């Protein structure tokens, strides 16, 4: 029995329950920006394996650090215990994110990092004797697939079976020069009911790589600060260089009260989640009253092996060569976008840092379930490229180690697809 046959017999893959879904591609190894299947076919990972892989697959430095850690300590519960990796990672992360962030809370993936942040916000107001329970979020947001994270995400086909069970959220449009005053008025009208504002800074990934300007986000954040609304920056996707700076919040002057990290945190090696917060938020839980405790924990909180992967990934991220690679990708994306932007099949192109999105002309059918999505996915897979369109939005989000030749090949195949499809 082949690997694919064995897989189909026992595994439930995400987003593949349709009877017409393609069988999974059996990947046996990775190297750099590429993955290889059991027949030796090479695939350029143009989407960083769901946006997590930032330094390339099977990176020897990360592998070395993980192997060393496995020989020392694989895990210890983080309730009442600590270890060197967790402390060092917290220290190093706090040194490079906005300086109002003072405490690190570990969990085990992006959704749980968001859940922790929302619980921190809501319990902060409870612990301080204030009745603030409403949450503000952007329309079409995506913050994860657990119930709390779904609740603050835009309502869609992904949430439809659960909509009656999700708590109410105040959704607002992305800010621009025409609506910013109206958005600030909406926030003011909610007044003392509003507990927090959660947002994907600069880029809404799952919504279709929708991008908005930092100056408008900054103005909205400043107004939230004025109204006493806590702010959660969800940097799970945008963190660790994706937007051209280390973090998307580096583009604004206002600072969030909480930040969420995962995906590129470990260089795509394994699952780890982090939620950071200000001293003010932490102090609302610091008490002799046990009922003010944040009762949240995971079995694999601050797993030492995951922390070692994150520390190794951070070493690589902060190297000059990595920032040079990011700049190189940004320049190449920009030049390619300029070359194709007037093609009749391209409705628009948009770019923030290493994220390049191309919206294909499909008439009225622009949904996630557009047939164009499947045709494009298969077309590029046949060409040895992993690109996973969001409906009619094709995007490139490569590992920073991708070579000029590999990136040029992706561009060339996109131009060929514009003629073939």
Active-site residue list: 15, 142, 234, 263
First vs last Cα of the chain: how many Å apart?
A: 35
Q: Tell me how far apart the alpha carbons of residues 176 and 195 are, in angstroms, rounded to a whole number.
A: 23
Give the residue from 262, 263, 264, 232 showing the smallest Cα distance to 249: 232
Looking up tokens 């591609």 gives 25
- At residue 198, the 3 state secondary structure works out as strand
DSSP secondary structure, 59-116, as one string: -HHHHHHHHHHHTT-S---SSS---HHHHHHHHHHHTTS-TTEEEEEEESSHHHHHHH
Helices (H) and strands (E) in the chain, counts: 13, 16
Nearest to 46 by CA among 337, 418, 362, 414: 414
Identify the three-state secondary structure at position 133.
coil
Q: Let me know the angle formed at the C-alpha of 288 by 284 and 289, rounded to the nearest 5 degrees.
A: 75
Tell me the β-bridge partners of 105: 275
In angstroms, the Cα distances linking 94 to 61, 121, 180, 387, 418 are 23, 20, 31, 33, 45
Calpha distance 390→140 (Å, rounded): 13
CB 195 within 8 A of CB 125: yes
Query: Token pair of 265, please?
Result: 């945190």
What residues are paired with 30 via a beta bridge?
Answer: 35
Which residue shows structure tokens 């009745």? 131
Cβ–Cβ < 8 Å for 135, 149: no
Q: Please state, in angstroms and rounded to a whole number, the distance separating the CA atoms of residues 274 and 417.
A: 39
- Contact of 339 with 357, CB cutoff 8 Å: no
């Amino acid at each position: 029995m082949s690997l694919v046959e064995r897989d189909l017999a026992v595994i439930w893959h995400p987003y593949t329950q349709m009877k017409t879904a393609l069988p999974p591609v059996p990947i046996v190894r990775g190297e750099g920006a590429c993955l290889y299947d059991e027949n030796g076919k090479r695939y350029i990972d143009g989407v960083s394996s769901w946006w997590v892989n930032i330094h390339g697959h099977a990176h020897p430095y990360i592998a070395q650090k993980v192997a060393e850690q496995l020989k020392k300590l694989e895990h210890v519960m983080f309730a009442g215990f600590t270890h060197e990796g967790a402390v060092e990672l917290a220290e190093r992360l706090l040194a490079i994110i906005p300086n109002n962030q003072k405490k690190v809370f570990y969990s085990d993936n992006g959704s749980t990092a968001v859940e922790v942040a929302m619980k921190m916000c809501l319990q902060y107001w409870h612990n301080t004797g204030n009745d603030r329970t409403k949450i503000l979020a952007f329309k079409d947001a995506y913050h994860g697939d657990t119930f709390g994270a779904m609740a603050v995400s835009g309502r869609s086909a992904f949430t439809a079976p659960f909509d009656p069970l999700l708590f109410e959220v105040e959704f607002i449009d992305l800010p621009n020069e025409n609506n910013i005053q109206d958005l600030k008025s909406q926030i003011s009208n909610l007044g003392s009911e509003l507990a927090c504002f959660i947002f994907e800074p600069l880029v809404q990934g799952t919504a279709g790589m929708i991008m908005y300007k930092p100056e408008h986000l900054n103005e909205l954040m400043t107004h939230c600060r004025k109204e006493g609304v806590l702010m959660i920056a969800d940097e799970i996707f945008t963190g660790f260089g994706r937007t051209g700076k280390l973090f998307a919040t580096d583009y604004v002057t206002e600072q969030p009260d909480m930040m969420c990290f995962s995906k590129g945190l470990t260089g795509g090696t394994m699952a780890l989640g982090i939620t950071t917060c200000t001293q003010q938020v932490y102090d609302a839980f610091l008490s002799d009253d046990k009922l003010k405790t944040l009762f949240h924990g995971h079995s694999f909180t601050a797993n030492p092996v995951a922390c070692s992967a994150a520390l190794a990934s951070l070493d690589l991220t902060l190297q000059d060569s990595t920032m040079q690679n990011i700049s190189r990708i940004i320049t190449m994306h920009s030049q390619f976008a300029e070359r194709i932007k007037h093609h009749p099949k391209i409705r628009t192109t948009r770019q923030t840092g290493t994220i390049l999105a191309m919206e294909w002309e499909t008439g009225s059918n622009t949904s996630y379930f557009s047939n164009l999505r499947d045709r494009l996915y298969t077309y590029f897979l046949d060409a040895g490229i992993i690109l996973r369109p969001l409906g009619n939005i094709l995007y490139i989000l490569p590992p920073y180690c991708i070579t000029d030749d590999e990136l040029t090949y992706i561009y060339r195949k996109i131009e060929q697809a514009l003629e073939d499809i």
